[in-house]
Amino acid sequence: MPIYQDFNDAELTALLKEGDRDAFTEIYNRYHWLLHIHTYKWIRNREEAKDIIHELFSTIWMKHDQLSFGPNLSTYLYAAVRNRIFNLLSHKKIESAYIVSLGSFIEKGECVTDHLVRESQLSKVIEKQIAAMPLKMRHVFELSRKQNYSHKKIAYELDISEQTVRKHIQHALKVLRFKLGIF
């Protein structure tokens, strides 16, 4: 059984291209810590650095027969890590811009769709309940709330007492409160 620690990088990459697991393990053991340190210097997050290194070596093993390492394995590995770091930083920049954009969107009050939908639903429920009221009560209530008539003007227009107008409105509001309390 060969001692893989004695092989140089070119020999290890040749064995790796043939699917030799032990060659892959030796490459991993040689470079994973150095790449981790290099990655950590850039992103200052140990977990993300571990993820980048893990992703790199997973990709190398999955595509070992398709990769071209060039003349120098360490150059390939450092370039691959650098590219992954740049992708991560670019993604973070986009993510940050999105969060800022979302924050300003919410601050401007443009995020009112949910409220508009709820308001529309509530308005429909109210209209349905008003339509279910007795005719006279509904007419008095609509004059009061939709036409903004005073009790005196409603009483004069419908030829009823102000007390009757007051009672119709109170009863209508009581019915609406009860029905909307369920909603």
What is 4-107's CATH number? Answer: 1.10.1740.10
Cα 11 off chain centre by: 47
pLDDT (0 to 100) of residue 183: 54
pLDDT in single tens digits along all 183 residues of the chain: 689 999 999 999 999 999 999 999 999 999 999 999 999 999 999 999 999 999 999 999 999 999 888 889 999 999 999 999 999 999 999 998 888 887 777 777 655 666 778 788 888 888 888 898 899 999 998 888 888 989 999 899 889 999 999 999 899 888 888 888 765
Q: Could you give the residue range(s) of every CATH 1.10.10.10 domain in the chain?
A: 113-182
Overall CATH class of domain 113-182: mainly alpha
User: Whole-angstrom Cα distance, residue 178 to residue 129?
Assistant: 10
The secondary element (H helix, E strand) that includes residue 71 is none
CB 164 within 8 A of CB 155: yes
Q: Could you give the residue range(s) of every CATH 1.10.1740.10 domain in the chain?
A: 4-107
